[in-house]
Amino acid sequence: MAGTYLEGTSKILSGVYTLMRAAIEYVALGARGTVAYPFTSNWGPTNQLKTVLYGSEFDKLYNAKLTVLTAFKINAHAFKGKPQRVMCWRMATPTAAKGGCILPAAAAAMSLTLETLYPSDRAFTAAVKDSLNYVGGKMVELTENGRLLGRFDAATLEDLYIKINYSEYIRATAMGTVLPVNTAGVLFTGGNNGSTITAEDYGDFMTAIEADGKANAFTLDGISDEAILAVAEEYTKRVRSEGFYVTWVRGGPAGWDTARDAADEASTNSNHRGIVNVGNGCDAYTAAEMAIFVAARVASVPLNRTLCDEVIDYNLVNKQPTPGERAVAKENGTLLFMMEGTACLIDEGVNTLVNPTTDEVKEMGKIRINNALDQISHDLEVFGNEYKKTRSNTAAARQTYASTVEDTYLRGLVTLEVVQPGFYYREDPTYHGKDAVFHPKPDEAFFYADLTPVDSMERIYQKITLHF
């Protein structure tokens, strides 16, 4: 991860730096499909990145289907987007605490002290019964709202302690001297989910995915708080300029279904190819909640495919946009959902770039093009970082590197219909050769690429001549 540079300037740290111009439209393949989400829950590890591949893993790790916190939203939408992997961050404040209980022994002495595996207010109950398998032994049953979670049966207190500590739900943290007495049920108390979240907690998540550097896209957990969204926007623009080519997907409240102007205004205010703004919802979900799904699709759609007109796994758009509203949304960089018959579709696969700045063009306002630009920048930086470890900075080495990029990387993109034939990648004559304008330092090498991406066939025009 290195970032951008300006012509005529030098960097201090070693790395591969990329200058992106409108005439240099990079499109590449690479390992894609990683999406990252922060959320709250009543289960799972807190304030650390965990990667899961399947919805069932996410549900098990974070109790996603049963919690009323925002892990439920991630579970409902993220995996419909078919990501390759999901990076999970359960947000929790310092108030988060594990629940616990004490199983008494005879004469009110302590036999076992139990606590939840994670900070949680889940309503666990521990009951003690006579063992079914050991004479004189005891069995602890762990339940939640009447649902059995586990049984731990042992002849001795030591064995009971060990078996409990293999549980997926609880741990024994202290042990007395004798087995517990029978009890109908002891409630776990004192647990706290730490779920009263602030912008700082979202910031911790964003810092973590920046340090990891693997996410292709991220969004927040269905929120529409503009103060927090402003933090995410500022973050996205900063990290992309520094070489972390991640796309942020945002949305808005339920009112956006009818107040299209508000969604379009948010898009034009962002005006950035690394930001996608979802303007309406489906199946009574808000645009902000649908952003969870869109982030997964942005991260995982193949680089030689478009999201335009893609059928999605939802039943009904909250309010069908008119053709005029769809046209205005596209012009403003707002992604909408629409109905075509009984099918729910993504209308246009656009990001929020509608007023290009220096070195940009409007074509970069497509998700497909932006994904390709991001991936090739990332891939060439990784490739360059490996190559420079073992090569001296000579003209021959630079020419060999450029030829390798063309032959082993870019040529394959033509076959895969990601770039057009006629590309080249070579030493930048502005820095190297007899006509150089700038004079690089001995440890600097500059390259120039010329590529034409293959775009999708999204508009078809037909002329029909009739004969009678």
Mean local confidence (pLDDT), 455-463: 64
Is residue 134 within 8 A of residue 122, CB to CB? The reply is no
Please write down the long-range contacts of 99-102, taking CB distance under 8 Å and 24 or more positions apart: 99/124, 99/188, 99/189, 99/190, 99/191, 100/173, 100/188, 100/189, 100/190, 100/191, 101/126, 101/186, 101/187, 101/188, 101/189, 102/186
Domain locations in the chain as residue ranges? 34-92+196-346, 100-187
What are the backbone dihedrals phi and psi of residue 149, each rounded to the nearest 5 degrees, phi first?
-105, -30
18-49 burial string, b = 16+ CB within 10 Å, else e? bbbeeebbbbbbeebbbbbbbbbbbbbbbbeb
CATH 3.30.1370.220 is right for the domain spanning 34-92+196-346: yes
pLDDT of residue 312: 97
Sheet strand arrangement including 34-39: 49-52, 85-90, 34-39, 217-218, 247-250, 275-278, 334-335
Question: CATH says 100-187 is which class?
Answer: mainly beta
- HEC per residue, the chain: CCCECCCCCCCCCCCCCECCCCCCCCCCCCCCCEEEEEECCCCCCCCCEEEECCHHHHHHHHCCCCCCCCHHHHHHHHHHHCCCEEEEEECCCCCCECCEEEEECHHHCEEEEEEECCCCCCCEEEEEEECCCCCCCEEEEEEECCEEEEEEEECCHHHHHHHHCCCCCEEEEEECCCCCCCEEEEECECCECCCCCCHHHHHHHHHHHHHHCCCCEECCCCCCCHHHHHHHHHHHHHHHHCCCCCEEEECCCHHHHCCHHHHHHHHHHHCCCCEEEECCCECCCCHHHHHHHHHHHHHHCCCCCCCCCCECCCCCECCCCCHHHHHHHHHHCEECEEEECCEEEECCCECCCCCCCCCCCHHHHEHHHHHHHHHHHHHHHHHHHHHCCCCCCCHHHHHHHHHHHHHHHHHHHHHCCCECCCCEEEECCCCCCCCCCCCCCCCCCCEEEECCECCCCCCCCCCCCCCC
Q: Which of 145-159, 435-449, 453-467 has the lowest mean pLDDT?
A: 453-467
Give CA angle at 80 (41, 336), nearest 5°. 105
Roughly what angle, to the nearest 10 degrees, separates helices 395-405 and 367-387? 140
What is the identity of the amino acid at 52? V
Which tens digit of pLDDT belongs to each residue from 116-149? 999 999 999 999 999 999 999 999 999 999 999 9
Which tens digit of pLDDT belongs to each residue from 386-434? 777 777 888 888 888 888 888 877 887 787 777 788 888 888 999 998 8
pLDDT of residue 22: 29
Which tens digit of pLDDT belongs to each residue from 234-257? 999 999 999 899 999 999 999 999
Q: Which two tokens stand for residue 418?
A: 């990601």
pLDDT-based confidence at 378, cuts 50/70/90?
Answer: confident
Which of the given ranges, 14-23, 169-178, 450-459, has the highest pLDDT on average?
169-178
Which tens digit of pLDDT belongs to each residue from 50-82? 999 999 999 999 999 999 999 999 999 999 999
pLDDT of residue 386: 76
pLDDT of residue 3: 57
Mean local confidence (pLDDT), 187-192: 98
pLDDT of residue 407: 80
Mean local confidence (pLDDT), 273-301: 97
pLDDT of residue 26: 34
